[in-house]
Amino acid sequence: VLDGADLRPGDHAADLYAGVGLFTAFLAQGVGPEGRVASVESDPGGSRDARRNLHDLAQVQLIDRTTERSLRDGSLVGSLEGRVDVVVLDPPRTGAKRAIADIVELRPRRIVYVACDPAALARDLVAPLAAGYQLVSLRGFALFPMTHHVECVAVLALP
């Protein structure tokens, strides 16, 4: 995920559907103290644990609401001072169909999509590809051996 994000010091990154902040912590390291990371999570337990996990990272702003709402009400863009260079998203199994068009409108340099349902990922990649993003890589991971579940990581970039 981090290799695909291609972070640079000073970047502004968003971690959507962030859970307890696993990717947020690594994004914060990648952007450094001069960068910013918005971590968006709507689950109260996940948000609480993210606060505990990320409290010492000054460049992280936690947003306690749905990804869709944070994209529509301006709280995501506002927390990143109007600039979004990289988006990492790890949506639920149903995918990010309600958010993906709004993510594309932000025109981040990179989008890293972590998916637990390859069919939802395929559906959600239509919008960024139609908007000019290129699929840089797509990898599958058998994180749950002896099951049919496959995690996928798709990296999209503007040319």
Active-site residue list? 116
Cβ atoms within 10 A of the Cβ of 3, count?
Answer: 10
Rounded-to-integer distance, Cα 34 and Cα 98, Å: 31
User: 36 in helix, strand or coil?
Assistant: strand
CA–CA dist 110, 5 (Å, integer): 6
Report which residue type is found at 127.
A
What is the chain's Cα-based Rg? Answer: 15
Residues near 76 by beta carbon (within 8 Å), at least 6 away in sequence: 14, 38, 40, 63, 70, 84
**Residue 151, strand partner residues:** 141
